[in-house]
Amino acid sequence: MSLEALIAASPSPQGAAKKRKGPQGADVPEEETNVVKLLSKVTSIVLTEQRNQASRVGHCLLLPADHAMTTSLTAAKSAYANKQPPREKGKPGTGHPWGAPRNLNTAVFFEVTIKLYKGKPELVAEAEKIWGQDFLALLTEKVSKLVSACMTAQDFTPLDSLCQFFKYRVARSGQGIIELTGGAGKCFAPELRAHELFALPLEDLWGMLLMPYAEFITRGPAPQGRLERQLNKLIHK
């Protein structure tokens, strides 16, 4: 039984409930509408707080629709969805063969950014002034090899320890919205040993990764998502 049907079947504690006309002309109890709006309000508050929390511990990037990162992450999102194994009726779903969505997003973010460095000598020069040539080589050479290995094997789980949170979506304007939290301290994940990246300083790694997008890093929380907008329309109807 749906929530609406359950509420409709429950007697009003104050007698007959006031009714309004539904979209098909049927009477809808006013208390049912109030409960739905209350649930929508609570959900909206939770979604808003999630955006606020993400902005306090991470970064939000608002990228142009035609930016290489936007088009690459959008393509990756579609590929990830198409690779999802079908769920058999009556059986629990299976995990995605590529791992968590943030791992693929991380791989794409690394790959596009490394290409950006390799194509812009002025960007390399600026990064070397901050981190030094040897440390930049960790990104452009060793991390690059790790990402290539993940792409070839179609297994992105080795990147799991390098990013705590990564959410990507497309705005109504077509802009790409990235919310991410890279990490701090050194990463001691055992799988990094094979790529000579054991004890990799995450704060410096993500500093190098984010620097090319400094002009696109926004202040405050990310824009509302589709669900939050729809809930707010329902609340204020």
Domain locations in the chain as residue ranges? 1-57, 59-83+97-226
pLDDT at 96: 87
Cβ atoms < 10 Å from Cβ of 200: 23
Cα-Cα-Cα-Cα torsion 26, 27, 30, 34, nearest 10 degrees, comes to -20
CA 231 – CA 209 distance, rounded (Å) = 35
pLDDT at 94: 78
What's the whole-model pTM score?
0.71
**Of 96, 85, 73, residue with least CA distance to 169:** 73
CA 39 – CA 205 distance, rounded (Å) = 41
115-172 pLDDT, tens digit per residue, is 999 999 999 999 999 999 999 999 999 999 999 999 999 999 999 999 989 999 999 8
CA dihedral (138, 140, 146, 147) positive or negative: positive
Positions of the chain with pLDDT lower than 70, given as ranges:
1-57, 220-237
